[in-house]
Structure 1
Amino acid sequence: MEAGFHAIDSDWCRIAFQRAPAPLVVCDSASLRVLGANACASATYSYDPDEWADTDLLRLFEPADHERVRAAVAIAAREGEAQLPALPHLGKHGACQRCRLLCYRLNCDEPPLVMLAMQDLSEAEEAQARLTHLEDVLGVSQEVTGLGCCCLNLTTARLTWSAQLYKNLGLAPDSVMPSMEHLLARVHPDQRPRFAQAIERCIVDGETFDTDLHVTWPDGSEHVLRATGHRIAGDPQSPHWFACATVDITEQRRLRDQLLMAEADLRHAQEIAHIGTWAADLRTGLIETTSAETYRIFRIDLQAEDGTGGPFTLDQLFRRIHPEDVPGVAAAREHTLNTPGARYDHRYRIVQGDHEVRYVHSQADVVRDEDGKPLRIVGIIRDVTDLTRAEQEIERLAFQDEVTGLPNRVAMRRHLDEAFGASQGLDEPVAVLTVELARFRDINLTLGHLNGDDLLRDVARRLRTELGDQVHLARTGNAQFIAVLRGVRAYHAGAVAETIAHVFESTFLIAGVRYEIAAHVGIALAPGHARNPTDLLRKADVAVHQARQGARKTMMYDPAQDPYDPQRLALLGQFRNAIAEGQIELFCQPKVTMATGAVIGVEALARWRHPQLGMVPPAEFVPLIESTELIHTLTTAMLQSSVRQSHAWRQDGLALPIAVNLSTRNLTSGTLPGDLRSLLAKWNATPDWLGLEITESSLIVDPDASIAQLNALSGMGFRLFIDDFGTGYSSLNYLTMLPVDVIKIDHGFTTNMLRDRRAGAIVKATIDLAHDLGLSVVAEGAATREIWDALLACGCDEAQGYYVAPPLPAAELPGWMRQHALRHRGAGTTH
């Protein structure tokens, strides 16, 4: 070693120099020749100790760095020390490592010696690179996961925030100095003390925390952060770090709240609608559901089911189904499983633990694998007990009579429609028996409706007992029952009607008193009497009406006695237009005196010349309109036509009175005298132009009002006739009170007087009675010479009939009268 190396020639320096863990090299600051190197330098640069002598220092560096090394040595020689940052160092064999170069002056000689220490930075740089990479990864991970962190060095009290923490607090990165005060400031005031306490406990006691924090961002928006805190110890005795991680769960909380709300709404909706969801795993036989309503419907307690608390199975479900409904449920399920695309849709009953029966409606679809094999059934179930019971009640109200419990008219008609529909052209006969209680209204008015209802229930009970289940019995009206017989039983309808009549042969107990209750039964058969239910019911009603009119217990429908032809009802609808369009014509039938044959007047008769049907007989339309307000229209038309015709005849010198028929409604209207007075004034006519005919039966509807009206008409000067005398039921006492002038004997007596001795006696007695009362007599129905002679022999005053003349159009009457006058003069005084 050269003299210049004496500076480290002492033992302790030499030992320190040689054993130093870092490479050390001593060089001449002027020539940069290496004067010595320690063992670490030899090992680092791969030089043997003897190879260092006179080695140029610059051989250890890249040529590009030579000037920098030369300058650093010169500075150290002049100022005492110098350093260069990391730069490549070259070994003997070209190996390279990065080291920081530290230069120190060793003495004050000229030129001074300089010692160079090489600090290896390779591992540190690699560690720094790895650290930088990890920080980048951590930053990206925090940004992706939204996890923000703050770390507090408990030794140095240095606090750092990650960039994501700034974002979680709504702050721009590095916008505020990281501090616990800034962290707590963002937390909602209600949670701030609790959060600060949690941090303190974590730092002091190591108690971790995991909590949700409501924070307010600078823009005013509200967010929720999940915050987790831990204490990290460097060694068991010294806690070095506190770390707090946060993540923004605002959207997660919003979705969770929405999900909870949706679940609550669904649960409430299912509870309101009594609908539950369910799913069944066909491989395990387990029911999978989270629907509380499904559990409620089936009364399932998962904690107590079979004492095990295990899952609910299909077998357990089937044990809750009503035994009568199990086959139907199983069949519907098998059909759905074996039929791709089919939906399970079935209503059945379940029996709950308290033996209460509930109705449920289940619908489901089958989930299949790729091969079409059923895997699961997913569906809904609804408690339809209230709905089913409401439907049953509606069914009962719609089809059951509330008083008797029997089927009502709607149910009977449906049964009858089925009978006609099922019979396919009525190969199977059907019979309808209409039963009407006589004077039932009197029972209601006398004893009250409650007692009337008791009677109806007793009648229904007796009829059901006697007729049995093979007869469809219904209550169809206030006091009406209908029995429908089908098949072979229809052939015995007459016998069944007698059985029904027998029911009423014994008395009924009403309000503690026994009463005799009569009933009438009308029978109609299909296909004999009708081809459809409506016609069959109508004809049974006609039959029972005929039975009531004839005071008979039972009666079979007789077409010959049915005056209620639907075509005639159609005529009723056309009648009003018929008058307005002039289809009603005035016909007149002459009346003559029996003694001389002279024509003394005519009776006005209405004839309907229908544009399609031709001449419609009065018997077909007059009875229909007599019960309606149209009778006033017809009477007014006949009175006007009669006065108009009488006026025309008088203009031609024919002064002939015309008698017009009045109905009960005309007589009791109260307006007839005033109407007649106006009509006569219009034509400048007098009451002797008209005669007014009133049927005897019309007088008994309201005798007092009728007598008052007749007195008024008689006082006006009208000649009054009682028509059809002998066919009514009025007392003869009324005859003494009526201001009538003429009695007309009904043609029913006159046409039979020659072959029926009793009819002849009535004719004779009526003529004598009228004469004794000072009244004239007109005999209707004088159809033959023999009847004429018999009437003449009885002292009859006047006659009309086909022997005299048929009803003639009013325009033809003058011509007939001329011919009649010629015949009358040729025949003398005899007719």
Structure 2
Amino acid sequence: MDKDRIRELSNSLAVAERRRKETQRLSGVGFWELDHMTGALYWSEEIFTIYGLNSEALSPDYEIFLNLIYDEDRDLVHKTYQDSVKFKTEYSLRYRIKAAGSVKWIEAKGVTLYDEQDQAERSIGTAKDITEIVDAQQQIEHLAYHDALTDLPNRKFFSDRLNAAVELASRDRTNIAVMFIDLDDFKLINDRHGHAVGDEVLISVAHRLQSIVGPNDFFARIGGDEFAGVLVNIQDAEINEAVHHVKRAIEGLYVTQVSTFEITASIGVTMYPKDNVDPEVLLRHSDQAMYQAKEHGKSQMRFFDTEKRQRRLSKRDLQRAIATAIRNDEFVLYYQPKINLSDGILAGAEALLRWFRDGHPYSPMDVITAIQDTDLEWELDNWVIKKALRQSKIFRECSIEGPFSVNINPKTIEAQNFPNQLRSLFADAGVSGKTLELEILEVSSIKNFERTNDLLQQCKALGIRVSLDDFGTGYSSLTHFHALPIDVLKIDKRFIKHLNSDAKSLALVKSILAIAQAHKINVVAEGVESYGVASILKNLGCASGQGYAFAKPMSEADYLLWVQNWSPTKFQERLNTYKCNQVAM
């Protein structure tokens, strides 16, 4: 081989090596290599940087590396590497290290190469600092189970803890008290002084509850001005004083930036196992007792009467009315548009259930609660999908494209023939699968994720998109995101509402968007109530928005008219007038 050719190959090799090093540097990925024959260990400069070590003062050393690892993680890391060499497998794991006085999360991958005699020749691997990603994931997981305003456990967390408390009480033959707490006339504070002042009061209530909570007791915020609590291992003779202790802690003067308020509370209580029902029914019974307390005035407390079942009877009446409404086509769908924030073009719409009974609107949440765990859940979901598909054909004839998203119960998806049912509905309506988007509600109630994943994959094969609703709440979190074939994440409106004034909400939304972008998932922000918030979302890279800033949910006829009058150009002009300087971007 001539000298020019050798020089050319040497230059090419040098360029390739520089390219590799620059790629590692830019990506923040460190590289290491161990020669099993000589014992020589190589660390790239990025490895030293990640581990917080000085490459000029130290040589690569496996013992130094092991000593950096958290005690709880060290054996796992060492064993994983040894097993990889022994069983000739690749490995990937996460562990914590102590670096420069801080904790870092590391994602490591590695593999061993073998010679012709099947002896270990070289082990190679990578390490990456993923601390920011893990911190964001932990923050999202925390917010998924805690109320964003008060940091108390939320309804989902409360439900899980209540289930565990009931199991323990049943096993140990002890009592628990379930309390439902409602602040009297709290709505007047919001109406007269604004939600910011009301929020101050709610935060103070949460602090007072946290100050008196016992080691095994717990409180949660489960609604606007509604709190719930559980007192465990409590005797009948103690319960009155215990609940009054909670009541005294809550009630009294609350000083805010604008005024001082005298707060009282109504409390409903039920006792397990005297009220021997499922945990979710215990909460409902304490809620009913709270309403009985309110009927006797403010600052009252009442126990649930286990001998009365009036509410159950009314629930059965409501279920019968719902069944009749499905058969008689009494329900209607309202449509709320989704807007592409980059150009203002319509990005589909969400179909929302409405029921006008005796000329008055009936709460969709009351409908959902009444039919929970009954066959009516499937019947109503089936009606909604069928209606949405038929109306989508009318929209398409008016040059209005979807997709149109519908809220769907996981139990409906888990039906084995669900994909086949959808095929039939598409055929009957004369539309394709891309018309429909399934928004999965209360995904945490899914019993078998593997089966649900398979069924959703079959749905996606029909052209359907799958959306994870209320992302960031207890119903929908990272665990579910990784377990299902998701196309779209919908950020819950409670994190969007104060995006231009609350740094905590902004940080969470940024984290969700970063995770979604890393997985090439579209994001829709719910509850966009102002163009100022829409502008922030656009600058953060959020694909679409939905909310009263653009349009409220509308009837089929009103939606048709709205689309005809919608102007993407005017949307962009209006959006451009807002400067996103309310919060640090």
TM-score range, shorter chain: 0.3 to 0.5
Q: TM-score normalised to the size of structure 2?
A: 0.48
Structure number with the bigger relative contact order (C-alpha 8 A, sep ≥ 6) is 2
Larger radius of gyration: 1
